[in-house]
């Protein structure tokens, strides 16, 4: 009888160990209680849950590891919110893989926001973006563009959803703390405006 119990107990331990082995994704609790998923670079059918953007045969599943350009605008930088905003990105699986603090000239701001030329707010937007230091950064993570936009919140800080970066650190529809690219294509174009290839060597792959 005791022998049967020992065999069952050992069998259960082996089963539990085997179910954990080969699991490529681990969830850990970050400071704010948000789950952060670390994705192992080596892909195996066991971790075929779509979080690394590929299925077992390597085809895309809709969740891709991508990157986006983020700018912490003059109000966020002058307000001393750089570290708090970066911590929020990291906690939510967006990794700051390149970053620099700089002061845009009015001409550089005009070039960056060229697509908005002619809008009633274009002049004041470019004045504002060149009024103080900004922090430009590349964020990398699963579906980085949409994840960042979700964390940023709506354009107008006054009406953005509570808990978003813009609601917490911005003021209105212009002084809204952060910029984020709006598509993968514009992300790559915007990144190229500020960063060279050598500065982006860790940005294209899961590196953690």
Would you give the binding string for ligand GDP spanning residues 139-168, x where CB under 6 A is met? ----------------x-------------
Member of 9, 121, 158, 204 binding ligand GDP (CB under 6 A): 121
Catalytic residue check, 20:
no
Nearest to 73 by CA among 31, 109, 48: 109
Q: Are 98 and 199 in contact (CB under 8 A)?
A: yes
Would you give the binding string for ligand GDP spanning residues 77-116, x where CB under 6 A is met? ---------------------------------------x
Return the number of the residue (53 or 170) whose C-beta is nearest ligand GDP.
170
* Catalytic annotation, pick one of 20, 43, 81, 179: 179
Helix (H) or strand (E) holding 96: strand 95-102
Member of 40, 131, 146, 173 binding ligand GDP (CB under 6 A): 173
Candidates 33-41, 50-58, 171-179, 195-203; binding stretch for ligand GDP (CB under 6 A):
171-179
Return d(Cα 152, Cα 155) in angstroms, integer.
8
Strands 35-39 vs 25-29: parallel, antiparallel or unpaired: antiparallel
Return d(Cα 143, Cα 50) in angstroms, integer.
11
Return the number of the residue (51 or 164) whose C-beta is nearest ligand GDP.
164
How does DSSP classify residue 49? Answer: S
Nearest to 194 by CA among 89, 81, 114, 111: 111
Residue 137 interacts with which of ligand GDP, Mg ion, none, CB < 5 to 8 Å by class: none
Q: For the stretch 109-122, what's the b/e string if a residue is b when 16 or more beta carbons lie within 10 angstroms of its beta carbon? A: bbebbeeeeeeeeb
Residue 173 interacts with which of Mg ion, ligand GDP, none, CB < 5 to 8 Å by class: ligand GDP
Which residues participate in catalysis according to the annotation? 179
Residues contributing to the site for ligand GDP (CB under 6 A): 116, 121, 124-125, 155, 173-174, 176, 179, 182
């Amino acid at each position: 009888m005791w022998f049967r119990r020992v065999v069952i107990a050992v069998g259960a331990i082996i089963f539990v160990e085997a179910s954990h082995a080969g699991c490529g994704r681990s969830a850990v609790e970050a400071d704010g209680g948000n789950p952060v998923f670390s994705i192992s670079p080596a892909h195996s059918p066991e971790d075929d849950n779509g979080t690394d953007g590929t299925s077992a045969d390597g085809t895309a599943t809709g969740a891709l590891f991508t990157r986006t350009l983020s700018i912490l605008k003059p109000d966020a930088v002058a307000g001393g919110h750089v570290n708090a905003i970066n911590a929020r990105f990291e906690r939510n699986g967006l990794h700051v893989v390149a970053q620099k603090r700089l002061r845009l000239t009015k001409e550089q701001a005009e070039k960056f926001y060229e697509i908005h030329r002619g809008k009633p707010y274009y002049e004041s937007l470019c004045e504002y973006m060149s009024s103080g230091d900004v922090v430009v950064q590349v964020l990398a993570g699963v579906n980085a563009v949409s994840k960042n936009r979700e964390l940023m919140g709506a354009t107008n800080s006054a009406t953005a959803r509570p808990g978003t970066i813009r609601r917490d650190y911005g003021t209105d529809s212009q002084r809204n703390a952060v910029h984020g690219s709006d598509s993968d294509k514009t992300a790559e174009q915007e990144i190229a405006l500020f960063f060279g290839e050598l500065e982006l060597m860790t940005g294209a792959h899961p590196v953690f």
